[in-house]
Every structure is written in C-alpha cells, then in structure tokens.
Structure 1
Amino acid sequence: MGFDLASLRTAVARHGRVSRVVVAEIRGSSPREAGAAMLVWADGQSGTIGGGALEYEAAAAARRQTASAHLSTHALGPDLGQCCGGSVTLLTEVYTASELVLLEGRDVIARPVARVPAGDTDAPLAVHRLLNTARAQGQRPPPQLVQGWMVEPVYRPTRSLWIWGAGHVGRALVDVLSPLPDLAITWVDVAADRFPDHIPPQVTRLPAAAPERLVPHVDTEANHLILTYSHQLDLALCHAVLGHGFTFAGLIGSKTKWARFRSRLAALGHGPEQIARITCPIGRPDLGKHPHAIAIGVAADFMARQQRADRNTDLNKEHSA
C-alpha cells in the first residue's frame, strides 16, 4: 500500500474537491491495515478502508469536514457496533489541485496530521531518522504515524502483468484484476477495435499487429497471461516468452491443446524443463466456462502464486540476515 497520487490526481481533476481518508494507525483487530485509503467527493467515493459502518461514517464525516486535515480515533465495537475488537485512527485530508502541486515528485509523503502553512514547522527528528534509514537501506517506510506526522510511501505498482488478448476472458480478467494494488497491467491485442470503449485508467492498452514482437521489450521479471483469439498467436507468444525470460507465464487452454503446444515448442528448440515453466491449463475448470468464472479462477491462482513467491522472498531475506 501507499499514497496513490495518480488516483487522487484523477479524482481531483474530475470532482474538484476530494477528501482522502487513510487508516493512519490500528490497535487490535481491524478491517484493514494501516495505509488503506479511500477517496470521497460530494456524490461518490472510491477505494475502501474496510468495515461497513466505519466506512459509512468516515465518508459522511469527510463530506462535512471543513478543516484541511483531521485525525479521529474510532473504537470499532463501542462506537460503531462492529465485531472487530480494536480501534482505528483515521486521517482525513481535503485536496484540491493546488495541494496536489506540493506533492509532485516525492517518493515518500510526510506531513503533519494537522496542517500548518508550509515552512512554519519541520518534521521531528524521528521522521528524519525514519526516512534516512529507509533511503540508506534502499527501502520505503510502511505507512505510519510518527510523533504527529503521517508518513506514506508514494504508491507504485511492483508487479508487471501483461494480458495478451482482449476477448471475453481477457476483458473479464481486466475487470477482476485491475482494482488490485501492486499490479501494472499492460493489455495487448492485434487491433484497437478489439478493446472495449472503457478501460480502467490504471491499465495500459497496447494494440499491436504482431504482439509477439513486443516481448523482447518486456521486463524479464514480468508476468504473462496468454489468451488470444488465435492458437497460432498463442504459440508465437509462448515461443517468444520462453526465449526472453519471465517470472510467470500462464496459457489458457485444455490439456489437449497444451500437449500439442509442448510438441511444437520442442520442435522450435525449447527443452522440456524450459517448456514446463509455462502453466497450462490455468485457472479453475471446476468453476465453469463463463468468462468471469474463468477469470476468477485464473486470478485466484495467479494471486496465490504471488503470495507464495512473497513468502519465499521473505524467508530468504530472514535467512540471509
């Protein structure tokens, strides 16, 4: 999680005055973690801080708020009647275009929870130490309250996902995956008219007459989901990614299709261990064949793989420490 400056910028451009409500601190059990945020404007909102009653009350308060920044603490059980036994501290800030200018170009956004004119105060020593230590270690600090200051890294997607194909399943996959954090999605098909009219702003649409020629320009740590309208194109993409490198590659299709592809990829010079790096079939066939059922299964499998990879990375860091 982090400060999603791009989404805030888009919301301010559309709605003018936007409140950002962020979970600044939690104690005990809570619906969401520190750093979870939502945007609220006069007649709508986006994002979530979790907890139906908490979110409802926070959105209503944000619309009434006149101060530029306000900190509030909510006991989830006694105050809101929720089953969670903890408390949540929320920071609600009002943004217009002029405030956004002050945030541009930052990697970490640190500001006092009660705003004062710029230059009237400096961050406490604890904040400077936190930021300096994070920079020295090549890391970004997690969202947190530090001596009356809110510190948040600017959100940047950490995983690159290329979805090859804008057919029914490709569209359903974009619907399911695009709201998730940490995914930078590039969506490819052979022509612009293959895509729907409305595409989520965080998704990059990329028409290409020969999609396989794009693969050499893709990050070798990217993830790929291959589900085009053409078996010939699917094969060309599999051949291209095997020759380029990737973190994960999944191909939609049956066991029969994959058996034929293995044979053809071997004829193209790929060894058995290399070919086995591609996952096919993908998803959960038991969920059914509706495009969104397929997309849910594929997305669930993809997310589970990412979580396992994260756990392995964390374990490796612990062992090397």
Structure 2
Amino acid sequence: MDEDRLILRTAAELAEAGEEFVLITVTRTQGSTPRAAGTKMIWRPHPADAPARESAALPNSSFGTIGGGQFEHLVLEAARECLRKRTHLTERFVLGAEAEQCCGGVMEVFLEYHGSPARVVIFGAGHVAQSLSQILAPTPLAVSIVDDRPEWNSAERYPGAQRITDWSQGIDAATSQPESTLALVMTCSHDTDFKILRGLLRETLPAFTGLIGSKSKRACLFGRLIAAGIDESLVRRVRCPIGVGDTGKEPHAVAISVAAQLLLEARALSRTALPADARSAKA
C-alpha cells in the first residue's frame, strides 16, 4: 500500500476512534521543493500534551512527512494552532532562511483539523434521561449516563450508552475533553445536583452545561454555588431551564426539547472548525 493510502487509512482510524488530529496536505509547489503536491502527513497531540495544547511534538505524534527539517517544524507549529483554535488553515512557506533551506521553492499547505465528536454526559438516570438517550441513539452524539443506582443505570434501560456508576468518575469524564462535551445535570436530588455542578464548574467547564429545573431551582442552586466560592461568571454559564420552547412537563416531551437543544449546540461546536484566511508568505 502506498504512503498516501496508509495515511488516509490512518486518518479514518483516528476519526473512528474519536481522536483529534490534523491532516496536512501539500496543495501547491513552485520551484525546487522536497515533496510534490498531494503529499500528506498526519499530526496529532501526544496524550500527555493534549490538555496543554502548547508543547512540542513528541515521538509518535506524527505519521508521514512533507519534507522534514525546520520546514516541517514550522508546519507542525501551524498544526498546533489548528488544534488550539479548532480550525482549518492554509499556509504558504518560502523555503528560505526561516525554513533553514536554500532551495528557494514555495510550498502551499492545507491543514485540516479533525476534532473529537461531541458527546453528551447525563448526570441522573431518571425518566427524562432514559427518553433522551433513546432519542439521541441514532444521532452522531455519544451518550454517557452517570448514576450510582444500579437499578436505574442498567443495560436494560440504557442499552447503547456508556454507563458510569461513580459521580466523581462522571465529572472526570465530562471535564476531560471539555471542548467537545455537553453535560446535563438532572439527578433525583437537588443536593446531588449541587455537588455535580460544583465539580463541573472549573477551568475545564464543558462546552455546554445544562441543569434541568425551574427558574426558582436555578436561583436556589446558583446562590448556593456562589456562596460556596464558585466564580459567579462560571455559575452563570450553566443553562437553566433547558430545552427549546415550552413543550410541557411530560418526560418524553421534555427529552425531545432538550435533544433539539443539544443537537443545535453540537452543530455550533462543529462550526468552530471553519476555514481561516490564508496566511501571508513566510520568508
């Protein structure tokens, strides 16, 4: 199998596994260059570096090559920018002093960001959560259910979802990839809701955090969170009530409303990966 086919197969495997990576393609060349147009490589963050998104590439973080040396180092710096901004980039490199090459050619490179698929972490395995899990099953959203009650958080009730039976593990799951996580808090207890929110409201707050309930519940829990020392700006990012429009209080109707909101939020997340303007030439 040739190099490009191997790279495309690797990209498909990474996408299937839900890993973040950048697919780099040489789109145009001029003059003397180390690789031809169409050459591809993959860069992905090393697991130890993914939270920081700033460090240099480590071994096994790339697959293939578009030329090596300082030129490729500059390209991988651009790949890290793609990761930080969750965007695509087109870069033009002059193979001169900055690239530590003297061939003088020009290479244009397209860097295509591929993000982790959005996932929903639902705290509480009650009636709304069960209906919501069923509604979301055929969508691209991966669902995790967090509840410490085995009779509620069972394979029979949630056949297609990941089930987590420890609240702390659920919080860790929701904050490990915050930029692609939609968290919902709908436990059977307001005290448990408070504890979950207190755990979620940190620097790695999920992209969307929703709390089921009324405006009076929101006022009560938000007040408790602020009194507990949680920064008010973080508390105010929690959406409550949740759902699209007034669909009534029947669990399945509420679930439909919330599912619509989640799909809209997930769509908004995917639109953060929009092509950026081509950069000026690098000398």
TM-score tier (shorter)? 0.5 to 0.7
Are 1:198 and 2:179 counterparts? no
The match for 1:215 is: 171
Distance of 2:271 and 2:257 partners within structure 1: 21
- Alpha-carbon spacing, 1:262–1:200, altered in 2? closer, same or farther (3 Å): closer
Letter in 2 for 1:310: S
Are 1:189 and 2:147 counterparts? yes
Give structure 1 stretches of 5+ with no counterpart.
1-104, 110-128, 140-155
Aligned partner (choices 279, 287, 298) of residue 239 of structure 2? 279
Distance of 1:131 and 1:300 partners within structure 2: 40
The Cα offsets for residues 183-237 of structure 1, whole Å up to 9 and x where unpaired, read as: 22211111211135525654111112xx145423541412201111111111111
The match for 1:262 is: 222
Distance of 2:273 and 2:188 partners within structure 1: 35
- Alpha-carbon spacing, 1:196–1:130, altered in 2? closer, same or farther (3 Å): farther
- Alpha-carbon spacing, 1:131–1:283, altered in 2? closer, same or farther (3 Å): farther
Q: Relative contact order (C-alpha < 8 Å, sep 6+): which is higher?
A: 2
- Alpha-carbon spacing, 1:212–1:285, altered in 2? closer, same or farther (3 Å): farther
Contact 1:266–1:272, Cα closer than 8 Å, also in 2? yes
The match for 1:294 is: 254
Letter in 2 for 1:177: L
Aligned partner (choices 127, 135, 139) of residue 168 of structure 1? 127
Distance of 1:108 and 1:131 partners within structure 2: 18
Contact 2:154–2:163, Cα closer than 8 Å, also in 1? no
- Alpha-carbon spacing, 1:296–1:186, altered in 2? closer, same or farther (3 Å): same
Distance of 2:190 and 2:155 partners within structure 1: 25
The Cα offsets for residues 31-54 of structure 1, whole Å up to 9 and x where unpaired, read as: xxxxxxxxxxxxxxxxxxxxxxxx
The match for 2:193 is: 234
Distance of 2:243 and 2:143 partners within structure 1: 18
Residue 144 of structure 2 aligns to a residue in which SS?
strand
Aligned partner (choices 208, 216, 221) of residue 248 of structure 1? 208
Residue 273 of structure 2 aligns to a residue in which SS?
helix
Instruction: Give runs of aligned pairs for residues 87-102 of structure 1, distance below 5 A.
Output: none
Distance of 2:12 and 2:231 partners within structure 1: 45
Aligned partner (choices 130, 137, 141) of residue 178 of structure 1? 137
Moved over 6 A (4+): 136-139
- Alpha-carbon spacing, 1:286–1:134, altered in 2? closer, same or farther (3 Å): farther
Residue 185 of structure 1 aligns to a residue in which SS?
strand
- Alpha-carbon spacing, 1:260–1:187, altered in 2? closer, same or farther (3 Å): same
- Alpha-carbon spacing, 1:213–1:106, altered in 2? closer, same or farther (3 Å): closer
RMSD of Structure 2 on Structure 1 (CA): 3.0
Distance of 1:215 and 1:177 partners within structure 2: 21
Contact 1:212–1:236, Cα closer than 8 Å, also in 2? no
Aligned partner (choices 249, 270, 273) of residue 310 of structure 1? 270
The match for 1:133 is: 40
Residue 108 of structure 1 aligns to a residue in which SS?
helix
Residue 215 of structure 1 aligns to a residue in which SS?
helix
Distance of 1:226 and 1:131 partners within structure 2: 47
Letter in 1 for 2:150: A
The Cα offsets for residues 89-111 of structure 1, whole Å up to 9 and x where unpaired, read as: xxxxxxxxxxxxxxxx96538xx
Report deviation, 1:157. 6.2
Distance of 2:123 and 2:184 partners within structure 1: 6
Give structure 2 stretches of 5+ with no counterpart.
1-8, 14-35, 43-65, 67-74, 83-114
Report deviation, 1:170. 0.6
- Structure 1 window deviating more from structure 2 (255-264 vs 212-221): it is 212-221
Structure number with higher strand proportion: 1
